[in-house]
Amino acid sequence: MITKLAASLDMSFKVPDSEKKMGQESVQSFLAVINSISLIKDHLDILYDPFKKAQEISTEALIKFRGKINRFRTQVKKNFKILKKHAFNALSKLNYFSKDTHCIELISAFKESINDLITAGIKFIEILDDFKVSDFKDKVLAGIDNIKKESSQTEELVRERIIDHIKQNIIGESWANEEDPSNILKEKIPTVIEIYKNINKTDESMPQIQKRPQSLNVSDSQRILYPQDMRASEKTSL
């Protein structure tokens, strides 16, 4: 039983190279998601900064620059399309480890987070469609703030939970081998199992004391036998 347990523990510490490779690809896919989110936020700042500084924006000014607003809107749609592409790719990579219960939780959390971010993007695009409303400026700023909020939550999920889980539990990266990748710590079988194995090893170098044959004499049944009995057997009569 102990031997089987030791074997199963030893196997649990080893991650196949194929899974490590998929883990590395998965990390790259999630980094692409983060980069696409950064692209979305950087582009939104083009409109956010001047709108934030402006005390008031007239409807006439918005109509005059409606061409630029439409181009901005089109680029927002493209940026979110890129995000969806990378998110789908990252999700398919992580799904490879769906047998891991923790990965299932991360998959569910990632789907929900991306869905909330995309929904915020859709609402913002709808805001840009109606630039003739009096509170257009406030709606634009609120829409961008909402996207940034969802973006931060998604980035935190990806960086601190998903990528961290893949690196530590699939690829096997840790502080112990960051400085020298070749310095990989070998997992050891628990001490109790080692002790058990050592106890059951027969050391042929140790002299074994031969057991004295049991006497058939009834009168000897209560006698306590000591190791020296065998040595003295030739000289001492029973």
The pLDDT-based confidence of 86 (bands split at 50, 70, 90) is very high
How far is 118 from 125, CA to CA, in rounded Å? 11
Report yes or no on 130 lying in a domain.
Answer: yes
Helical (H) or strand (E) element with 2: helix 2-12
Tens-place pLDDT, residues 11-21: 444 667 778 89
In 3-state terms, what secondary structure has residue 130?
coil
Over 90: is that where the pLDDT of 193 sits?
Answer: no
Which residues span the domain enclosing 139?
A: 2-177
Mean pLDDT for 208-220 is 51
Total of domains in the chain: 1
Establish if 189 belongs to a structural domain.
Answer: no
Residue closest to 19 by CA, chosen among 167, 131, 121, 164: 167
Task: Give the CATH number, domain containing residue 7.
Answer: 1.20.120
Q: Quick check: 209 pLDDT over 70?
A: no
Task: For 49-69, give the DSSP string.
Answer: HHHHH-S---HHHHHHTHHHH
Residue 218 included in any domain: no
- Mean pLDDT across 97-115: 94
Kindly tell me if the per-residue pLDDT of 103 is higher than 90.
yes
Residues 6+ apart with CB under 8 A from 20: 170, 171, 172
Tell me the range of 13-27, 141-155, 217-231 where mean pLDDT is highest: 141-155
Residue 199 falls inside a structural domain: no
- Alpha helices by DSSP H, 54-158: 59-64, 66-94, 101-129, 136-156
Domain assignment present for residue 101? The answer is yes
Q: What local confidence, expressed as pLDDT, does residue 121 receive?
A: 98
pLDDT at site 31: 97
Q: Taking the complete model, does pTM exceed 0.75, yes or no?
A: no
